[in-house]
Amino acid sequence: MANSPVMKPSAKSEFMKIRLSSDEKEAFEQAAELVGLSLSAWIRERLRRVVIKELEDAGRPIPFVRSARPSQ
C-alpha cells in the first residue's frame, strides 16, 4: 500500500497488548481473513478509521495524519 500524502510513514516501533475473549479473537481473525489482511493489520486499520472519525468529530488533531497544506 502506497503512503497517502496525509499519512506519516508506517514505521511501527510500539507494541500494544489487549485483553479480549476467545470469541472476539476468533471473530477478528475471521474478518481479517475475509479481506486478506493479517490480524494485526486488520486491527490497526480498523482502529485508525475509528480514531480519525472520533478525533475529527471532537475537533482534535490526529497524531498520525498530517494536515494537507494548500497549494501556493
Q: Where are the domains of the chain?
A: 39-63
Burial 29-59 (b: 16+ CB within 10 A, else e): eeebeeeeeeeeebbeeeeeeeeeeeeeeee
- Mean pLDDT, all residues of the chain: 86
Q: Is the pLDDT of residue 54 over 60?
A: yes
pLDDT band at 10 (very low <50, low <70, confident <90, very high): low
The candidate with the shortest Cα–Cα distance to 56, out of 67, 71, 45, 46, is: 67
Percentage of the chain exceeding pLDDT 90: 68
Q: Is the pLDDT of residue 36 over 70?
A: yes
* Dihedral angle of Cα 17, 20, 22, 25, to the nearest 10 degrees: -70
